[in-house]
Amino acid sequence: VSAEREHADAGPSSSKQWMLCPASVTLSRGKPRKSSIFAQEGTAAHEVAELLIKGEPVPPYIEVEGEQIAVTEDMLDYVAPYVAFADMTEATASFFAVEQRVSLEAYFPMNRMPEPVFGTADMISYHEATRKLTVADFKYGKGVKVDAKGNTQGRTYALGAAALLAAKGFLLLNEIEILIFQPRVSPDPSKETLSRVELITWFENELKPAIARIGAGDTTENPGECQFCPRIGECRSVGRKAIEESRLAFDDGKVGGVVVPEMSSLSNEEIGAILSKAEIIENWIKGLRAEASTRIDAGQSVPGWKLVPKRAQRKWKDEEDAAKTFLKRGMTKAEVYETELRSPAGMEKVLKASGMTKEGIALVLKDLVVKESSGTTLVEDSDSRPAVSLASIFDAAPAPLLIGGAPVDDVL
Ligand code: SF4
């Protein structure tokens, strides 16, 4: 399992935020980055993927920041497509690495970056025959859909990977493919392909000036990508912007005039315009909730609000002990233990451990596994996923309920 990652203040994963807002780095030096159970699960899922790609055994629990995160069947299911892609890529790659540290220092004279930009790329591969570099990023989160198109994190890793390849003697690069696997949002990875010239042009025109601003200590606050900023609780600019956006969303055209219309009376255009302002308002409110929790936790009082324990769930103090107690009381194993069919990813793991080849496993699973979407989700037009067509919505609508052979509406 990989060692704890070292973090740059201006790391690739927060590049979208600091490219827009230098203050998110320059005014937050030394501030602790809040972790969450979701972030810990993400770290555990990355480690599971790394172990599977390296062909090493996966333990039932992964320790992250002192917490034991269970490796569930769901987690194995979700990492499976990324692991399968990595295995397939590795088979023909001239260079392949997972959890690879990359840095942008080679792009600056004397390797001196005005601000250190480095990070750990999930997967890098290079194919010498086609001169193609692939950078894959695995995201376990499902709250925010991440698109590969114009993805600053992927492009920053790609630049670091290209420098690493050059240092290893692989100097020729025609095509760069950036893939984002986000299995809890979409079964297929999001993809961007660009040429070396396009990547370097983006670096020169957009990334390099942003790094220079941070290196020069620019403290401009520019809201827009605030969700994971460590300063969201104290930043006035994001609050101001949220209030401005709310006012614009409900402006009736007169100075200071605000209307809160009935939702059903809004036109489609008005709903679209209001929703596109919602993100910054929601993020600010989320930040405010976190700030209130931190203050109450520290013993302060926020009028009208309190902290309560989350719903407690019963669990066995010691599973083995509990099972022994029931078996001793004469209960059968079938009464004490539940058995469930493993998920497709779980069975893949068992079949692999039994010595079966990948091709053999694929053949067995082919007719047994289906992929089902659990419904539709509302996203912005810029999202790379194809929209559901109206025809397919109607096709998927449940058949009319029949009473005595006639549709219910006809009978009632
Ligand atoms: S909260 Fe937003 S505007 Fe404020 S420093 Fe962070 S990213 Fe910039």
**Ligand 1 atom closest to the CA of 223, numbered from 1:** 3
40 Cβ neighbours under 8 A, 6+ residues apart: 64, 65, 67, 69
Q: How far is the CA of 16 from the centre of ligand 1 (A)?
A: 12
Could you give the CA distance from residue 10 to residue 19 in angstroms, rounded to a whole number? Answer: 9
Looking at residue 399, its pLDDT comes to: 46
Q: Is the CB of 361 under 6 A from ligand 1?
A: no
Residue 260: pLDDT band with limits 50, 70, 90 = low
Q: What is the pLDDT at residue 252?
A: 61
Q: Which atom of ligand 1 is nearest to the CA of 18?
A: 7
Q: Which letter, b or e, does each residue of 339-378 get, where b requires 16 or more Cβ atoms within 10 Å of its Cβ?
A: eeeebbbbbbbebeeeeeeeeebeeeeeeeeeeeeeeeee
Residue of 14, 222, 284 to mutate, ligand 1, most atoms within 8 A of C-beta = 222
CA dihedral angle for residue 96, residue 101, residue 102, residue 108, rounded to 10 degrees: -140
- Which residues share a beta bridge with 406? 403
**Would you place residue 181 in the very low, low, confident or very high pLDDT band (cuts 50, 70, 90)?**
very high
> What is the number of other CB atoms lying within 10 angstroms of the CB of residue 39?
16
Closest CA to 185 of 96, 345, 78, 294: 78
The residues near 230 (Cβ < 8 Å, ≥ 6 apart) are 24, 28, 31, 32, 33, 34
Of 207 and 375, the structure prediction assigns the larger pLDDT to: 207
- Give the pLDDT of residue 114: 94
Interval between CA 229 and ligand 1 midpoint (Å): 6
Site to probe by mutation for ligand 1, drawn from 18, 24, 213, 218 as the one with most ligand atoms within 8 Å of Cβ, is: 24
CA of residue 191 to ligand 1 center, whole Å: 28
Res 151: pLDDT? 96
pLDDT digits 0-9 by tens, 41-96:
999 999 999 999 998 888 989 999 888 899 998 899 999 999 999 999 999 999 99
What mean pLDDT is reported for the chain?
85
Q: What is the pLDDT of residues 320-335, one digit of tens each?
A: 899 999 999 999 988 8
Exposed e or buried b per residue across 40-64, where buried means at least 16 C-beta atoms within 10 angstroms of its C-beta: bbbbbbbbbbbbbbeeeebeeebeb
Q: Angle between the 344-353 and 73-92 helix axes, to the nearest 10 degrees?
A: 60
For residue 115, pLDDT beyond 80: yes
**How many whole angstroms separate alpha carbon 165 and alpha carbon 392?**
45
Q: Is the CB of 343 under 6 A from ligand 1?
A: no
Residues 263-295: tens digit of each pLDDT: 787 788 888 877 877 877 888 888 888 888 888
